[in-house]
Amino acid sequence: MSSIFSLTDDRLRELALAALDHAKALGASDAASEVSESVGLSVTTRKMKPETIEHTRDKALAVTVYLGKRRGHASTSDFSAAAVREAVEAAHNIARFTAEDEAAGLPDDDDLERSPRDLDLFHPWDLDTDAAIEIARRCEQAAFAVSPQIVNSEGANVYTSSGHFVLANTRGFVAGYPYSRHSISVAPIAKGRDGMQRDDWYSSTRVPQELAAPEAIGEYAARRALARLGARKLATRQCPILFEAPLACGLLGNFVQAASGGALYRKASFLVDALGAPLFSDHVSIHEDPFIPRALGSSPFDEEGVRGLQRDVVERGILSGYFLSSYSARKLGMKTTGNAGGAHNLELRSTRTAPGDDFEAMLGKLGT
């Protein structure tokens, strides 16, 4: 394990198992624990001057204790033996006084991922503060260089974070992995005759060498801000629409929220009892794959230790799957889909587009 961490994987495992042992000694019918550590750096410049510099080093132990169908949860950032015992006892006491919930409990044994895949998610960035500031400056400077109409900026940010964790439960599941996430972003402001407009762009990856060049990010963000100048309203009409990538991702996020178990069992979604119903045009499919190496949405198992699914959640316009944790699945009388913590690597597919189609090619298909 990288020396950027102060705790070894073995130490995380020891702490997780110690919490479970104490929970069982208190009479818990089941328990789960997660121990994690992360380190990070975030630097922001505004108009090429450093504005914020933030170093983080966090650690946490979280434990959930079950007394039959009653559940309690507690956490601590103190890893001393006494503090760990106190956290477990706090969770136990909470469980004693909570109402029973028939859906509460650990995942079923058959759903747990006993042989996690190595998805190559850990690529720390050896980046000091001065280097991060310089990258942010280059990004912001490139945005200002595009046009005199770029008159201001909400800032450029360089961010890097790495962590590792161990998840364990009393069904014999013990697993974890290290991970990294890095990003560069900028938000320039353009001024025109009718006022000012802002936009932004970013690059985010697991591997720092795969980040887009700071200059490319800054230039593209500036062009997006400039393109907003002179925008005008359209009259109400029926016509084909092409959603640009950020907006399409937002719409996809709305779909995920509506198709998630929490909203479904609370009857707070328009997709209740909608499996098998048409939701999109018949040329649209949405594929989920948790196991893409190095991808930002990848994970060998979800937040409960359940293996994910490679599947179509929308197939030729038809809703074919929900995003369920063990708890929400039980509430709905269904089976978990390994989505405790959210969806994984959704890919929007259309039979009307080819893999090589760029924005201009898709505009051409609309006749513009």
Amino acid identity, position 292: I
Domain with CATH 3.30.2290.10 in the chain: 9-228
For domain 9-228, give the CATH superfamily.
PmbA/TldD superfamily (3.30.2290.10)
Radius of gyration of the chain (CA): 24
* CA 56 centroid distance within chain: 19
Average pLDDT value for residue range 139-156: 98
- Which residues fall within 8 angstroms of residue 217, CB to CB, at 6 or more apart? 139, 142, 184, 185, 186, 201, 202, 203
Q: What is the pLDDT of residue 112?
A: 98
* Beta-sheet strands, E only, within the chain: 30-46, 49-67, 70-76, 150-169, 174-192, 195-198, 201-205, 284-288, 311-315, 318-319, 346-350
pLDDT of residue 214: 99
Name the one residue in this structure whose structure tokens are 């084909």. 240
Q: Which helix (H) or strand (E) holds 346?
A: strand 346-350
CA distance 368 to 357: 15
- The label of the residue with tokens 């708890």 reads 327
What 8-state DSSP symbol labels residue 235? P
Interhelix angle 129-146/214-228, rounded to 10 degrees, is 40
Length of the chain: 368
* pLDDT reading at 368 higher than 80: no
- Which amino acid appears at position 133 of this protein? I
Q: Which amino acid is at 21?
A: D
Answer yes or no: is pLDDT of 1 > 50.
no
Model confidence at 109: pLDDT above 90: yes
Q: Which residues contact 117 (CB under 8 A, 6 or more apart)?
A: 291, 300
Task: List, for residues 178-211, the tens digit of each pLDDT value.
Answer: 999 999 999 999 999 989 999 999 999 999 999 9
The rounded distance, in Å, linking the Cα atoms of 159 and 53 is: 10
Q: Band of the pLDDT at 348, cuts 50, 70, 90?
A: very high
Angle separating helix axes 9-25 and 81-97, nearest 10 degrees: 40
Residue 108: what pLDDT?
A: 96
Percent of the chain with pLDDT over 90: 91
Residue 240 or 116, more confident: 116
For residue 41 the two structure tokens come to 């750096």
Average pLDDT, the chain: 96
Which tokens in the block code for residue 301? 């198992």
pLDDT of residue 2: 52
Helices (H), the chain: 9-25, 81-97, 129-146, 214-228, 245-258, 261-265, 326-332, 359-365
Pairing mode, if any, of strands 174-192 and 201-205? antiparallel
pLDDT tens digit string along 296-327?
999 999 999 999 999 999 999 999 999 999 99
pLDDT of residue 354: 86
Sign of CA dihedral 171, 71, 69, 18: positive
**pLDDT at site 99:** 97
Report how far residue 327's alpha carbon sits from residue 303's, in angstroms, rounded to the nearest whole number: 12
Gap between the Cα atoms of 337 and 299, Å rounded:
13
Please tell me the distance from the alpha carbon of residue 308 to that of residue 39, in angstroms, as a whole number.
27
Tell me the mean pLDDT in the region 34-44.
Answer: 99
Reply yes or no on whether the pLDDT at 154 is more than 60.
Answer: yes
